[in-house]
Structure 1
Amino acid sequence: MGNYQIIATSAMGLEALVAKEVRDLGYECEVENGKITFSGDETAIARSNLWLRTADRIKIKVGEFKAYTFDELFEKTKALPWEKYLPENAEFPVIGKSVKSKLFSVSDCQAIVKKAVVERMKIHYKRNSWFEENGSFFRIEVALLKDVATITIDTSGQGLHKRGYRAEQGEAPLKETLAAALIMLTNWKPDRPFIDPFCGSGTIPIEAALIGQNIAPGFNRDFVSESWDWIPKKVWADAREEADSLANYEQLLEITGSDIDHRMVKMAQENSFEAGFGDMIKFKQMQVKDFTTNLEYGVIVGNPPYGERIGEKKAVEQMYKDMGGVFHSLDTWSIYILTSNEEFEKFYGKPATKKRKLFNGSIRTDLYQYWGKRPPKQQD
């Protein structure tokens, strides 16, 4: 087995959560803006792809160096051990980005890295002609930040938020990775009720069910690195077997999602079936002002409309008032609401216990947290 520098990329504000997940898998890590770096073998690549709920992608760091000129970028890229990763017929497109660096032309950087890799491979594979690139897929990225080039290979393929269960989605879907993060930032335990009163296509309730039954989020999808010949098939088979053995499919869950739009409710039900939960998650059409419950010590997580579109603002502000009215008496419940509306607390009628800045895509939002009473004789 080899040893690789692995990078789990992260949305802004979720780095600490991704780092905790990496450590929970048993790997020490370092945290920087947008990325968590750790060492591991082929099994670590498979396990981190399968298990990390809040990471965006898993990449292998091939090299990192300062590059002030195109010559420097070419020579230092060519010096990297590409033959360790790429077979002779590898398909290897190069993508790039550049921030605060002298080499600011991304297209030139991509072309130079591609050429350098080809030159290295020509020497190793004793080739004079062009490579056919009809084999396994390896997406290389050159990322320049303050004149430091980090060169990686993506092991995930589709982003890790693609769990494989979302047959359909609404207009402004919440990424599965952010939905999982919202749940992991709460005090919810699987034996307590969980409600999302703005469920849309069902992402938050489904992610809660995956967490509640300890199901690996990547269990029902494929990863590009599964086709690489230097990662034995047994590594992936063992990682999936481990995930299956750790899942608690017998865990009973009290999870409900509701939405004002009946089409969304139907979509959420279909996605829940696709995720393997059948009708274990209850979905119903309902306005938040009609919400009632007899249950105690539950958790509410909601991503309501933000009122950013013209004409929506007043209706959304009224909805926040309605929400405050119906949630006010739920003193044993903990309530977590994500919105970009900076006046949320005013309309809700109560200051949050705590706020946390998060990004929903490019939208800066706050997670307003209202902590309820703790259940008796239970350690959170």
Structure 2
Amino acid sequence: MAKTVELIATAAFGLESVVAHELKRLGYDDQTVEDGRVTFRADMAAIARTNLWLRSAERVLVKVGSFRAMTFEELFQGVKALPWADWLPVNALFPVDGKSIRSQLFSVSDCQAITKKAIVEKMKQTYRQNWFDENGPKYQIEVGLLKDVVTLTIDTSGPGLHKRGYRQLNGPAALKETMAAALLSVARWYPDRPLIDPFCGSGTIPIEAALIGMNVAPGSFREFAAEKWHQVPAELWRRAREEARDLVRRDEPLRIVGTDISEDVLSYARHHSRVAGVADKIHFQRMDVKAMRSRFDYGFVICNPPYGERLGEQEEAEAVYRSLKEACATLPTWSVFVLTSHPRFEFFFGRNADKKRKLYNGRIQCNYYQYFGPRRPRLERTAAAVPAAAEVTE
């Protein structure tokens, strides 16, 4: 097994630079940023560390290899030539998923079947046997074709990295944890600044902020597919988790508030904050956005309000945006960041954004509207030991 491996951190559209910055904060500078992914080279320990620490990435994949293929025979021979024995043990469970974009080989099911067959043929040569029980650890393989370039990967994460493990109850239109962390990162929120989410729902943005503020690795609450692989020794996972525990800042003072008009979803938020171990860092309160106030200066409002996507809900969403405008007028030194798909948000908020960023909340195309407050008088900041609220550039 090589001392270094090529890995891919996948990202939702628009968040590639956020993920790239998180990787750099972890010390992985040898990287290439492309649409939907950041490819980087690192040691084997990075499989454990990136799964534990990446806040905005979707998954961490091992890149087995890539090549051009325009025929099924080229696909078969290209897959067979790759070093599968470096990764797949004789009893590996290795299902194959696939996707094809703008490629001659457009039948995904055929590409999956040919890839599986080619890997089996390679394993027959390696292990000198004709049948494989596939009753061991899972190695989820993907064959991806983009403009006739084939990339073969193995998923190290298992369930997506947004599944932190603390969100056990789902309220309506819950925001993914990875997206919530990215919103905080793009906003350049720091733990020494007050934060309000006036539409907190089941609590994802405030909880992710508290995890950032306490420097808690977001993967601390769960397990990963590669923990069962012999290629990533248990000692590497033990060290990575020990590092994560040592870097937690439990005494960090935080001023995080989450409000919502629904007591039911707030009960979810309180439960999730307890599971995540941050209940004492967040104040949840039932409140209409009109009543939002703060005695602090230079804070952040970061939120994911109703979009008005469903028939009959648009006028209600627009009224919410007007109320948000009125409430934010009472916070003249605060910065405001709003994620919504509503095409006329700026009109109802009464102000054009200083900056906009196109993002996708699930499959819904949104804009992240950014309104920058005045610069705070210069104060000393305490730097995080590993990625917290990363400063991100386009």
Q: Say whether the fold is shared (TM-score over 0.5).
A: yes
1:375 Cα deviation after fit: 2.2
RMSD: 1.1
- SS in structure 1 of the partner of residue 8 of structure 2: strand
- SS in structure 2 of the partner of residue 68 of structure 1: coil
Question: Structure 2: which amino acid aligns with 1:234?
Answer: E
Looking at structure 2, the residues matched to 90 and 9 of structure 1 have their Cα atoms a distance apart, in angstroms, of 24
- Number of corresponding residues: 379
* 1:126 matched to 2:128: yes
* 1:93 matched to 2:99: no
- SS in structure 2 of the partner of residue 55 of structure 1: coil
Looking at structure 1, the residues matched to 14 and 244 of structure 2 have their Cα atoms a distance apart, in angstroms, of 27
- Verify the 8 A CA contact 1:103 1:109 in the aligned structure 2: yes
Aligned to 2:83: 81
Kindly provide the CA deviation profile for residues 176-230 of structure 1, in whole angstroms up to 9, marking residues without a partner as x. 1110000011132212211100001100000000111111110111000000012
Aligned to 2:299: 298
Higher relative contact order (CA 8 A, sep 6+): 2
- Verify the 8 A CA contact 2:260 2:288 in the aligned structure 1: yes
- SS in structure 1 of the partner of residue 97 of structure 2: strand
Looking at structure 1, the residues matched to 147 and 38 of structure 2 have their Cα atoms a distance apart, in angstroms, of 19
1:379 Cα deviation after fit: 6.8
Looking at structure 2, the residues matched to 316 and 228 of structure 1 have their Cα atoms a distance apart, in angstroms, of 48
Aligned to 2:33: 31
Aligned to 1:55: 57
Looking at structure 1, the residues matched to 298 and 186 of structure 2 have their Cα atoms a distance apart, in angstroms, of 16
**Worse overlay, 243-252 or 70-79:** 243-252
Q: Which runs of 4+ in 1 moved over 3 A?
A: none
Looking at structure 2, the residues matched to 262 and 8 of structure 1 have their Cα atoms a distance apart, in angstroms, of 37
Looking at structure 2, the residues matched to 345 and 203 of structure 1 have their Cα atoms a distance apart, in angstroms, of 24
- Verify the 8 A CA contact 2:293 2:330 in the aligned structure 1: no
Aligned to 2:285: 284
Looking at structure 1, the residues matched to 189 and 148 of structure 2 have their Cα atoms a distance apart, in angstroms, of 43
Looking at structure 1, the residues matched to 279 and 197 of structure 2 have their Cα atoms a distance apart, in angstroms, of 18
Aligned to 2:199: 198
Kindly provide the CA deviation profile for residues 329-349 of structure 1, in whole angstroms up to 9, marking residues without a partner as x. 311111101111121111111
Question: Structure 1: which amino acid aligns with 2:113?
Answer: A
- Verify the 8 A CA contact 2:270 2:284 in the aligned structure 1: yes
What is the aligned-residue identity percentage? 54
Looking at structure 2, the residues matched to 91 and 365 of structure 1 have their Cα atoms a distance apart, in angstroms, of 38
Q: Out of 58, 67, 70, which is 2:69 matched to?
A: 67
- Verify the 8 A CA contact 1:352 1:368 in the aligned structure 2: yes
Looking at structure 2, the residues matched to 376 and 81 of structure 1 have their Cα atoms a distance apart, in angstroms, of 56
* TM-score normalized with structure 2 length: 0.94
Question: Structure 2: which amino acid aligns with 1:302?
Answer: C
- Verify the 8 A CA contact 1:269 1:279 in the aligned structure 2: no
Aligned to 2:109: 107
- SS in structure 2 of the partner of residue 159 of structure 1: coil
**Structure 1 unaligned residues grouped into runs of 5+:** none
1:112 Cα deviation after fit: 0.5
Question: Structure 1: which amino acid aligns with 2:167?
Answer: R
Looking at structure 1, the residues matched to 336 and 248 of structure 2 have their Cα atoms a distance apart, in angstroms, of 27
